[in-house]
Amino acid sequence: MSDLVRIAPGALELGRPLPWNVYDAEGKVLLRQGYVIQTMGQLEQLFERGRFKPRTIRRPEESPEADNHERNPFADYPDLLHTLDLTLTAITNGEASAPQRLTGLTRMIERTCKQAPDASLALVHLYAVEPSFHEQILFYAILCQFMGDEFGLEEERTQQLTAAALTANLALVPVANQLNASNQVLNETQRKVIRKHPERSILALKEAGIDHPLLLTIIAQHHEQADGSGYPLGLSGTEIRPEAEILALAERYIAMITKRAYRTRMNLSEARKLIGNLGDGPFRPAIPKSLLKVLGDYPPGILVRLDNEEVGVVTTRPHLGRGPMVKVLFGPRGNRYNGAFERDTSLLEFGIRALEEPEIMPSMDFSRIWGFGY
C-alpha cells in the first residue's frame, strides 16, 4: 500500500498505548490502537516490521461543517493531534489560514465531545500518564468543552473557551517538553518564559489575524486566581472571567494526573479531593464543582476492581439509574478474558470496590470496547 509510512524512531514508547493502528508492509493490521508495548524486544520488532497508515487530514480550505462523519475520538486522535500541530504552526508563522484552521479544530472538538462524550473523556484518561505537550493541549480543550457546557456557558462562549485552551500555551510549545522532562528547579530564564507566555501567545494570535476579544481575555487571565495570588496583574474575584478559571482548572487537573520527571502522578481519589478544596481560594466554588460533575466519581478510561474481583475499564458515566458501566478485562484470579464483558456497577454483585492504577496500563482495543465500528 503506497500510503503506509514507516514508523519513525521515537514515535513509539514502552508502556504507552499505541496512538494508531500499526500495519505490516502489505497493509494488514499488526497491532490495534490501544495496544501497550511491554518490552524492548517488542519495540525492536515493530521498528523492523511495522508501519502506520495516517488518516486523511481535512484541508484548511474545507468547511468544518462539511466534516460530518461519525466521531470516534480514538480513530480521530492522530487527526486531532496533527491538525493541532498544523494550526499552532500556522499561527506562529502568521499564515492566512490560521483563523480558519483554529475555528475548524475547535468545531471538530466540539462535535467529538457532543457525539461521543464518554469516549472523549476516556481518551484523556487513557493517554494522560505521560503525554506530549500537544496531547496536553488537546486534553485541556476537551475538558474545557465539557466544563463550559456544565457551567452553563452559551455556545459562543464555550467555543471561544475551547479555542483559548488550544492556543493559550502557544508560546510554551518550543520549551514545554524539555521543561516536563527536567527534574531540576526552574532557573530565572525559564520562569520568565513561563510568566510571559500568555502575552506572547496573544501577540502571535493577533499577528495571525485572530483577535476575538473574549478569546484574548481568557488567555490573558488564565493564570490569575480568585484570591489575588495569580499573574500577570494580580486580579481577584469577579475581575477574572469564569472562562479563564475553567481553563486554569483544566490545566491543573491534567497536571495532577500526569507523570513528570520531577514528580509522580496523583491517583484519581487524591485529585478529586484536591479539586474539591480549590473553591475555597483560587477558584469560584462553581468552577471545581463543574469539573467534578463532568468527571463523576469514576471517569471513563479509569481502571477499577469490582466487588466480584473482576478488573475492567470504566466506559460510561452513570445514566438513567445505571452505571457507571465497566467493560471487564480480567477475571477474579487475574486471568485475562478473551474479550471485554459489560458490567452495570449499580448492581450489587458488580459494585466498584477500588481504583486500579497499575504502572503500565493493559492493552485494550479502544474502538471495540467503546462500541465503534472499524
Mean pLDDT, range 316-335, rounded to an integer: 93
Q: Which residue has the cell 500510503?
A: 3
Please say if the pLDDT value at position 320 is more than 90.
no
Whether the per-residue pLDDT at 171 is higher than 50: the answer is: yes
Q: When comparing pLDDT for 77 and 47, which is higher?
A: 77
For the ranges 105-114, 177-186, 273-282, the maximum mean pLDDT occurs at 105-114
Instruction: At 123, list the grid cell.
Output: 481518551
Q: Is residue 187 over pLDDT 60?
A: yes
pLDDT, one tens digit per residue, over 230-274 is 888 999 989 999 999 999 999 999 999 988 756 678 889 999 999
pLDDT of residue 358: 83
CB 55 within 8 A of CB 78: yes
The model's confidence at residue 182, banded by pLDDT at 50, 70 and 90, is low
Distance CA 37, CA 362 (A): 9
Strands of 29-31's sheet, edge to edge? 5-6, 51-52, 22-23, 29-31
- The architecture in CATH of the region 64-295 reads Orthogonal Bundle (1.10)
Higher-confidence residue: 41 or 206? 206
- Element housing 6 (H / E): strand 5-6
Mean pLDDT, rounded, for 95-111: 96
pLDDT tens per residue, range 112-147: 999 999 999 999 999 988 888 999 999 999 999 999
- pLDDT, tens digit, 9 for 90 and up, residues 28-45: 888 889 999 888 888 887
Check whether 183 has a pLDDT greater than 80: no
More reliable by pLDDT, 335 or 16: 335
Of 334 and 25, more confident:
334
DSSP class of residue 232 equals S
Average pLDDT, the chain: 88
H-state helical runs in 168-223: 173-181, 188-207, 213-221
CA distance 330 to 258: 25
What does residue 51 show for φ and ψ, rounded to 5 degrees? -140, 160
pLDDT for the residue numbered 262: 61
- Averaged pLDDT for residues 10-31: 83
Q: Where are the domains of the chain?
A: 5-52, 64-295, 303-369
- Rounded CA-CA distance 208/40 in Å is 44
